């Protein structure tokens, strides 16, 4: 007898849909001859996992997957349940009478599916592994052969775990390669450039594949802020801004991510950020402004601002380092597949769409994925977090579409935290872009900047995390909100008067000599804004915020002296915290918890670093630190 097992991860809001779908499946089982038994129950070890068992007669060949399993998987995908695993094995049902000569296709006498569902809590006690007659192992899964769209590990075939039928699964490995490269890096942002730099430095031939017509991705338009407890410039000490340490940064990051973070990855970030910043300064010529800010969710002044005030101030030094060590950037080169033969073997190469046609590159040492997140892929966002509705704008560049995550999943890579999607609270309200003025609300809170609604009233602790600030605005139901600050704060928060003047010219910053005048220009009740500013000024003097319990520091400046400025803001999709699972060496981990040989990933394409919510200014150190780790280890792989 053969058993097909489908394990699916189910969001709580999808349980009823799943049960309804499987009820419909049960009512139409008559058409599937040879089916002996149908089971459905919760996994007692992982409550969000559901198990579907299909038992088939011995004379039914399902090594390529049964039509019923194809139908069920397609149904799961229509529901939006795309995190599933499938395998086939030979088994027996010890407590079930079974007549081998019975050829009846009548399935109405099977154990009642609806009863199984109704008794779900009782059935949950059944252990999906130890209660099975044959233990399901990784080896057993592979031995079972090619299963319905989940395995194509046969001679000449490429692994593709996403296909729904046997014909589609037959993706053929290249018979010959167009070229061979030691290390292929996908993506030319912070993580990709850092990885290429370190791999090239160790003698590897490195190519960076970038699908867009320009290099840099989201990184080049990033806000240019970098969290590190220290640097060779020692700005915190120089500006007398208190104490900090890698441990304090570590604790803040774990807390900011609601402790969903993988601690060893957070440790990489917080212990490696200062060294990575010094590396970019020393080898790349990176320049920082003489300012340090305390951003939302951080307990210390540790956010550095690059001189250019935009991510390009980091990508250019990284590009220079990478090119110094021989790395080549190929623009308009889009990955269309990752080649791997089976679930035990290494990465073999990549298929690339180039301006001159499709090419297959053999990878001798390793592949490094640094392709970013999926903030611009509305369908993918909706699949994992329907609350992030299509109407939200996005700060991201058009190429942030997540296909490389899907390619990695297709060859066995595990993913995590895919539903954790961050809104940037301070984007330009109409377009959602993260322009230079949109960075001021983030940088200014450590120096006394306040957020007010259209009625001129504060609505949140300005030092709260991004998710809290975003939801506080959304719950107001009035778009936009505003940040209010004065000229005295500008340089301290890492800004410049040149940026302010440019922002005024574009209509982004509103300037006034008094708070009353500012309220009038913003068309909000004058008395409300005046009273709000007056109360907040007193809170700074008292060292206590009774309204929102904001931590008050000596660096915060009262809004007493003009000129005063306002900038409009509203949340937009900004960062996807989920992605490919990696270990502390930046090696990609498969769905069985094993390392996929010769496969690395770094940056926003990965999950586990930030948990449920990324603290602002942690993105660049995450990318650079893990990019460096990936590049170092990739170069050390044997060709």
* pLDDT band at 17; cut points 50, 70, 90: confident
> Which pLDDT score is estimated for 58?
65
**Does this model's pTM top 0.85?**
no
pLDDT in tens, 603-631: 999 999 999 999 999 999 999 999 999 99
The domain 424-573 having CATH identifier 3.40.50.300: the answer here is no
Flag whether pLDDT at 538 surpasses 60.
yes
C-alpha pair distances (Å), 47 with each of 11, 80, 81, 114, 123: 10, 18, 15, 19, 12
- Alpha-carbon distance 378 to 386, whole Å? 10
* pLDDT reported for residue 152: 46
| DSSP reduced 3-state for 464 | coil
User: What is the total residue count of the chain?
Assistant: 639
Neighbours of 240 (CB within 10 A): 9
What is the average per-residue pLDDT within 44-68?
Answer: 74
CA angle 262, 267, 273 (to 5 degrees): 130
Range 2-169 classified under CATH 3.30.70.100: yes
Which of 16-25, 27-36, 366-375, 460-469 bottoms out in mean pLDDT, i.e. has the lowest?
A: 27-36
Pairing mode, strands 595-601 and 587-589: antiparallel
DSSP string, 466-518: HHHHHHHHHHHT-S-EEEEEEHHHHTTTT--HHHHHHHHHTTSEEEESSHHHH
Tell me which of 161 and 244 has the higher pLDDT: 244
Cβ atoms of 41 and 124 closer than 8 Å: yes
Per-residue pLDDT at 230 exceeds 90: yes
- Cα 22 to Cα 40: distance, rounded to the nearest angstrom: 9
Tokens in use for 142? 């592979």
Residue range 448-477: average pLDDT? 97
- Tell me the DSSP string of 24-67: HHHTTGGGSTTEEEEEEEE-SSSTTEEEEEEEE-TTS--TT--H
- Looking up tokens 């060294």, which residue turns up? 275
C-alpha distances in angstroms, 417 versus 190, 383, 441, 541, 608?
Answer: 21, 13, 27, 42, 7
Tokens of 427: 């984007």
Biggest alpha carbon distance in the chain? Answer: 93
Q: Tell me, what's the pLDDT at 69? A: 82
**Separation CA 536–CA 456 (nearest Å):** 12
State which H helix or E strand residue 162 sits in.
none
* CA pair distance 25, 2, nearest whole angstrom: 19
pLDDT-above-90 percentage for the chain: 73
Q: Find out if CATH 3.40.640.10 is the number for domain 179-420+577-635.
A: no
Q: What is the pairing mode between strands 179-186 and 357-369?
A: parallel
**Cis-peptide into 480, omega within 30 deg:** yes
- pLDDT tens per residue, range 194-207: 999 999 999 999 99
Q: Which two tokens stand for residue 201?
A: 């430095």
Across residues 146-161, what is the average pLDDT? 54
**Residue 517: pLDDT above 50?**
yes
Return the closest-CA partner of residue 69 out of 91, 90, 48, 84. Answer: 84
Band of residue 63 on the pLDDT scale cut at 50, 70, 90? low
Work out the average pLDDT over 57-61: 67
* Mean pLDDT for the stretch of residues 341-354: 96
Domain boundaries, the chain: 2-169, 179-420+577-635, 424-573
Please state, in angstroms and rounded to a whole number, the distance separating the CA atoms of residues 296 and 175.
Answer: 53
Q: What is the pLDDT of residues 84-125, one digit of tens each?
A: 677 777 766 444 433 333 322 233 333 333 333 333 333 333
Choice among 289, 319, 376, 466 that is catalytic: 466
On the question of pLDDT at 291 being above 90, the answer is yes
The answer to whether residues 10 and 84 touch, using CB atoms and an 8 Å cutoff, is no
- How high is the mean pLDDT of the chain? 87
For 362-399, how does the pLDDT look when each residue is reduced to its tens digit (9 = 90+)? 999 999 999 999 999 999 999 999 999 999 999 999 99
Which structure tokens are listed for 198?
């370190």
Report the pLDDT value the prediction gives residue 56, as an integer from 0 to 100: 84
> HSE on the CB side for 218, CA within 13 Å?
28
CA-based torsion, 596, 600, 606, 607: positive or negative: positive
What DSSP assignment string belongs to 519-582?
HHHHTS-HHHHHHHHHHHHHHHHHT--TTT-PPP-TT---TTSS-EEEEEEEEEEEEE--EEEB
Q: Say whether pLDDT at 523 is over 70.
A: yes
466 is known as an active-site residue: yes
């Amino acid at each position: 007898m053969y058993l097909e097992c489908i394990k699916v991860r189910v969001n709580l809001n999808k349980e009823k849909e799943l049960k309804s779908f499987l009820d419909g499946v049960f009512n139409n089982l008559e058409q599937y001859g040879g089916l002996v038994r149908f089971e459905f129950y919760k996994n007692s070890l992982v409550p969000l996992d559901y198990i579907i068992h299909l038992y088939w007669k011995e004379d039914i060949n399902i090594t390529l997957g049964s039509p019923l399993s194809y139908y069920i998987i397609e149904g799961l995908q229509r529901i939006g349940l795309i995190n599933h695993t499938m395998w086939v094995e030979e088994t027996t049902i010890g407590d079930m009478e079974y007549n081998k000569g019975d050829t009846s296709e009548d399935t109405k006498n099977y154990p009642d599916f609806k009863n199984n569902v109704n008794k779900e809590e009782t059935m949950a006690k059944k252990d999906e592994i130890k209660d099975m007659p044959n233990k399901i192992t990784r080896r057993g899964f592979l031995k079972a052969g090619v299963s319905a769209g989940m395995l194509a590990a046969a001679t000449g075939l490429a692994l593709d775990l996403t296909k729904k039928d046997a014909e589609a699964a037959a993706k053929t490995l290249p018979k010959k390669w167009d070229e061979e490269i030691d290390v292929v890096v996908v993506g030319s942002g912070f993580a990709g450039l850092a990885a290429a730099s370190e791999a090239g430095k160790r003698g590897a031939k490195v190519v960076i594949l970038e699908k867009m017509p320009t290099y840099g991705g989201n990184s080049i338009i990033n806000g240019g802020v970098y969290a590190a407890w220290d640097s060779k410039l020692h700005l915190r000490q120089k500006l007398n801004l208190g104490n900090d340490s890698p441990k304090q940064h570590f604790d803040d990051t774990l807390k900011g991510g609601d402790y969903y973070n993988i601690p060893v990855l957070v440790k990489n970030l917080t212990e490696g950020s200062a060294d990575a910043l010094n590396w970019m300064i020393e080898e790349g010529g990176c320049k920082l402004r003489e300012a340090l800010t305390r951003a939302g969710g951080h307990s210390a002044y540790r956010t550095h601002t690059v001189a250019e005030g935009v991510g390009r101030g980091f990508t250019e030094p990284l590009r220079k380092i990478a090119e110094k060590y021989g790395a080549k950037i190929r623009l308009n080169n889009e990955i269309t597949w990752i080649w791997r033969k089976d679930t035990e073997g290494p990465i073999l190469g990549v298929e690339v769409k180039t301006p001159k046609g499709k090419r297959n590159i053999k990878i001798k040492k390793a592949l490094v994925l640094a392709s970013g997140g999926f903030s611009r892929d509305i369908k993918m966002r909706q699949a994992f977090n329907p609350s992030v509705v299509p109407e939200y704008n996005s700060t991201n560049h058009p190429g942030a579409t997540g296909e490389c995550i899907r390619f990695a999943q297709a060859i066995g890579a595990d993913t995590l935290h895919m539903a954790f999607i961050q809104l940037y609270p301070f984007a330009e309200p109409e377009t959602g872009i993260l322009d230079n003025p949109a960075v001021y609300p983030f940088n200014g809170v450590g120096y006394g900047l306040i957020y007010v609604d259209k009625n001129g009233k504060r609505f949140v602790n300005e030092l709260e995390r991004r998710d809290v600030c975003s939801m506080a605005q959304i719950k107001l139901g009035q778009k936009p909100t505003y940040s209010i600050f004065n000229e005295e704060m500008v340089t301290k928060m890492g800004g410049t008067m040149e940026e302010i003047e440019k922002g005024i010219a574009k209509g982004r910053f509103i300037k006034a000599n008094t708070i009353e005048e500012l309220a009038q220009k913003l068309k909000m009740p004058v008395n409300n804004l005046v009273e709000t500013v007056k109360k907040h000024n007193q809170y700074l003097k008292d060292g206590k915020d009774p309204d929102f319990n904001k931590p008050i520091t000596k660096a915060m400046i009262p809004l007493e002296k003009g000129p005063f400025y306002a900038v409009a803001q509203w949340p937009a999709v900004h960062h996807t915290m989920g992605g490919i699972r990696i270990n502390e060496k930046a090696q990609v981990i498969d769905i069985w918890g094993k390392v996929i040989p010769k496969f690395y990933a770094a940056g926003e394409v990965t999950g586990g670093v930030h948990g449920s919510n990324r603290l602002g200014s942690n993105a660049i150190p995450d990318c650079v630190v893990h990019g460096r780790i990936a590049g170092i280890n990739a170069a050390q792989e044997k060709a």
